[in-house]
């Protein structure tokens, strides 16, 4: 064995750090790239996170083989061979679609561009739901606003027919200018809401303390565009301006990496069915994910049922006693 003296170690390290050394140049380039990415995307917390933000699932076309137009007559249209689906709203009716398949756990992604201009009174939705009075539901709802004012992104979770678990956010971008990816990860441990792969909310399974959690009912994917000017914008004070109709929301690039349910199927976190990969089964937030969640909730959350003491004078719901950042 050859043992280097401390002086020799110092000489070797100096050689490695000389500017003309290839390793030094590579390290500096990587650091510069990371720095530029983080400066360019202020919601990035690391180079790894920037790369995760850019990650996209394996998109599939939106087609009549996957979705049924459920209402609205010709106001819902599948265009360009499934590259685009549009929903429209006019004074007579809105429109909507749903998935043919039912799912029990998985990750669902959809790219959406919301109604532009004066969208006050309109609601665009993307959600999972079962049926019946004790249904389960996982919601994204986008509440329109007057021109120049931000959308409100409304999230909620229902289990066994019980909801009242609202969190609302403004977005850090204009959701009407381009498509953005809205995702739901649903496994037996938690539900994660993501926007452009950034976690904005986590709802944990707290059945152990008596809080219902959706684990047994398969759900379909639904989307709709409808008029709700009795409550959607400023509590119903601002009504829909029908001179701006038709209002149109656009959808593209759908992905369901999920367990497709059928009678007799086994959809548990240990037995996936018809999925590309099973990473969603135990998906949770790492330290970087928790930092991103804090960033969103501290800067962009505008309502959290867990802090609404007027609504819950007898005490906040049991699940709220757990840190929302875990």
- Point out the residues that are catalytic: 137, 141
Query: Tokens 């906040």 appear where?
Result: 316
Are 196 and 180 within 8 A, CB to CB? yes
Whether 211 and 88 have beta carbons less than 8 Å apart is answered as no
Question: Is-cis flag, bond preceding 243, omega within 30?
Answer: no
**198 by DSSP, 3-state: which?**
strand
Tell me the C-alpha distance between 183 and 194, whole Å. Answer: 5
Q: DSSP string of 239-308?
A: PP-GGGPPEEEEEEEEEEEEEEE-TT---BTTB--S-S--GGGG----HHHHHHHHHHHHHTEEEEGGG-
Cα–Cα distance between 101 and 82 in angstroms, integer?
17
The greatest distance separating any two alpha carbons of the chain, rounded to the nearest whole angstrom, comes to 86
Instruction: Let me know how many helices (H) and strands (E) the chain has, helices first.
Output: 4, 15
How much is the CA Rg of the chain, to the nearest whole Å?
Answer: 23
Tokens 């991103």, located at residue:
292
């Amino acid at each position: 064995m050859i043992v280097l003296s401390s002086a020799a170690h110092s000489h070797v390290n100096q050689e490695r750090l000389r500017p003309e050394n290839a390793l030094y140049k590579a390290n500096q380039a990587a650091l510069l790239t990371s720095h530029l990415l983080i400066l360019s995307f202020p919601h990035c917390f690391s180079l790894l996170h920037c790369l995760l933000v850019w990650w996209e699932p394996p998109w599939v076309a939106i087609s009549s083989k996957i979705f049924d137009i459920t209402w609205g007559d010709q106001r819902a249209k599948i265009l360009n061979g499934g590259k685009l689906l549009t929903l429209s709203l006019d004074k007579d009716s809105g429109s909507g679609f749903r998935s043919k398949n039912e799912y029990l756990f998985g990750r669902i992604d959809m790219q959406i561009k919301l109604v532009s201009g004066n969208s006050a009174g309109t609601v665009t939705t993307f959600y999972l739901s079962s049926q019946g009075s004790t249904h389960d539901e996982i919601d994204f709802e986008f509440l329109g606003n007057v021109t120049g004012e931000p959308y409100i992104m409304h999230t909620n979770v229902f289990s066994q027919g019980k909801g009242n678990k609202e969190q609302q956010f403004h977005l850090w971008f204009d959701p009407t200018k381009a498509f953005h990816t809205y995702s739901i990860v649903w496994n037996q441990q938690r539900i994660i809401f993501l926007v452009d792969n950034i976690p904005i909310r986590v709802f944990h399974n707290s059945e152990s303390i008596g809080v219902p959690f959706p684990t047994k009912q398969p759900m379909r994917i639904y989307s709709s565009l409808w008029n709700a000017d009795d409550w959607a914008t400023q509590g119903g004070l601002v009504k829909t301006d029908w001179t701006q109709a038709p209002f149109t929301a656009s959808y593209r690039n759908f992905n369901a990496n999920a367990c497709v349910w059928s009678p007799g199927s086994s959809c548990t976190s240990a037995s996936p069915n018809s999925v590309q990969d099973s990473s969603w089964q135990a998906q949770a937030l790492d330290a970087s994910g928790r930092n991103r969640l804090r960033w969103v909730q501290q800067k962009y959350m505008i309502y959290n049922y867990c802090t609404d003491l007027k609504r819950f004078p007898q005490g906040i719901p049991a699940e709220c006693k757990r840190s929302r950042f875990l």
